[in-house]
């Protein structure tokens, strides 16, 4: 599965499990705030105490306090590596905000209308519906590589994301060495073997021999690549390569150029 999709999908698990934390937190805060609010608001006595106001304060404090448990979703809403994960974090926060708004709206409505506040059937059913359908909706969108909030905000041009991780494209196979001379093939494979054994100097010498031999350009290119991988100098500026060109190079003009380069570098004296 695409790692971005997996990360976004996994964060909705928190919305599935959060009621097991928010409900006890709501009850604890509600009881604590009710006692404190009663002491502050009804300090002059219980005869004329506005119990409805005390209940409203405790309900509102409990709802908002328990909603703070959802701030953990800020981790994914500020995800730096993936825009898709960030938007799903914001969408999950939006769903958490709806969970907070539903009971809060019922509390305020019932306070104004003189009802029974939060502990009634309708807000509980509303919360269950948001919990079941909202969380499932967001998680299924993430699984499809889609995000409604991302589209609504005008950032959904690349949606939906591919649901599977693309397999790496295999590197093209090197051309066979069947057309090379046996000695050049042997030299090249010996160099590879020494390279695998960690004998980099010996391997580099064999690859340099191929550079100044009559091997095909394809094999010389391979040898140059191996020298680069070893950190060796593959160009004509290497004194060792220049010496080997002078010793083994089949082209007289190339040998004269190599000798001139050695003189320029100060490795030999002009005759």
Give the DSSP per-residue string, the chain: --HHHHHHHHHHHHHHHTHHHHHHHHHHHHHHHHHHHHHHHTTT-STT--HHHHHHHHHHHHHHHHHGGGGGGHHHHT-SS-HHHHHHHHHHHHHHHHHHHHHHHHHHHHHHHT--TTSSHHHHHHHHHIIIIIHHHHHHHHHHT--HHHHHTT--TTPSPPSSPPPPPPPPPPPPSTTS-HHHHHHHHHHHHHHHTT-HHHHHHHHHHHHTSS--HHHHHHHHHHHHHHT---STT-HHHHHHHHHH-S-HHHHHHHHHHHHHHTSS---
Q: Say whether pLDDT at 168 is over 60.
A: no
Model pLDDT, residue 31: 87
Digit-coded pLDDT (tens) for 219-246: 877 887 787 677 654 343 356 666 666 7
**What pLDDT is stored for residue 186 in this prediction?**
86
At CA 26, angle to CA 20 and CA 29, rounded to 5?
135
Measuring CA to CA, which residue among 238, 230, 231, 187 is closest to residue 209? Answer: 187
pLDDT tens sequence across 176-212: 455 677 888 888 888 888 888 878 878 888 887 777 6
| pLDDT reported for residue 201 | 79
How many whole angstroms separate alpha carbon 185 and alpha carbon 203?
14
Sign of the torsion formed by the C-alpha atoms of 93, 99, 103 and 106: positive
Is the omega angle on the peptide bond into residue 241 within 30 degrees of 0, that is, cis?
Answer: no
The band of 80, judged by pLDDT with boundaries at 50, 70 and 90, is confident
> How buried is 108 (Cβ within 10 angstroms: 0-12 exposed, 13-18 middle, 19+ buried)?
middle
> How high is the pLDDT of residue 236?
38
Q: Angle CA(106)–CA(16)–CA(58) in degrees, nearest 5?
A: 35
CA triple 107-110-111, angle to 5 deg:
80
Residue range 97-115, pLDDT digits in tens:
999 998 888 888 887 776 6
Determine contact, residues 7/76, Cβ cutoff 8 Å: yes
Confidence check: pLDDT of 20 > 80: yes
What is the reported pLDDT for 134? 93
For residues 244 and 248, what is the distance between their CA atoms, to the nearest angstrom? 6
- What's the whole-number mean pLDDT along residues 43-48? 64
């Amino acid at each position: 599965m695409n790692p971005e999709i997996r990360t976004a999908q996994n964060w909705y698990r928190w919305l599935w499990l959060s009621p097991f934390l928010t409900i006890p937190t709501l009850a604890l805060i509600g009881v604590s705030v009710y006692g404190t609010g009663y002491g502050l608001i009804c300090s002059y006595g219980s005869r004329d105490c506005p119990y409805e106001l005390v209940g409203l304060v405790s309900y509102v404090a409990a709802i908002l306090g328990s909603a703070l448990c959802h701030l953990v979703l800020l981790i994914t809403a500020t995800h730096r590596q993936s825009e898709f994960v960030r938007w799903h974090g914001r969408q999950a926060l939006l769903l958490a905000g709806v969970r907070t708004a539903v009971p809060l709206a019922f509390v305020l409505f019932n306070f104004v209308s003189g009802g029974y506040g939060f502990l009634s059937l309708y807000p509980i059913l509303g919360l269950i519906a948001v919990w079941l359908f909202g969380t499932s909706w967001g998680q299924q969108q993430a699984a499809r590589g889609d995000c409604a909030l991302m589209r609504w905000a005008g950032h959904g041009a690349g949606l939906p994301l591919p649901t599977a991780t693309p397999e790496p494209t295999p590197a093209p196979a090197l051309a066979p060495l069947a057309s090379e001379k046996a000695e050049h093939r042997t030299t090249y494979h010996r160099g590879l073997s020494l390279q695998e054994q960690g004998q980099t100097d010996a391997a580099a010498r064999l690859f340099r021999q191929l550079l100044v031999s009559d091997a095909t350009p394809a094999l010389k290119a391979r040898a140059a690549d191996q020298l680069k991988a070893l950190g060796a100098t593959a160009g004509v500026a290497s004194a060792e390569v220049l010496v080997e060109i002078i010793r083994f190079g089949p082209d007289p003009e190339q040998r004269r150029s190599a000798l001139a380069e050695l003189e320029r570098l100060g490795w030999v004296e002009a005759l």
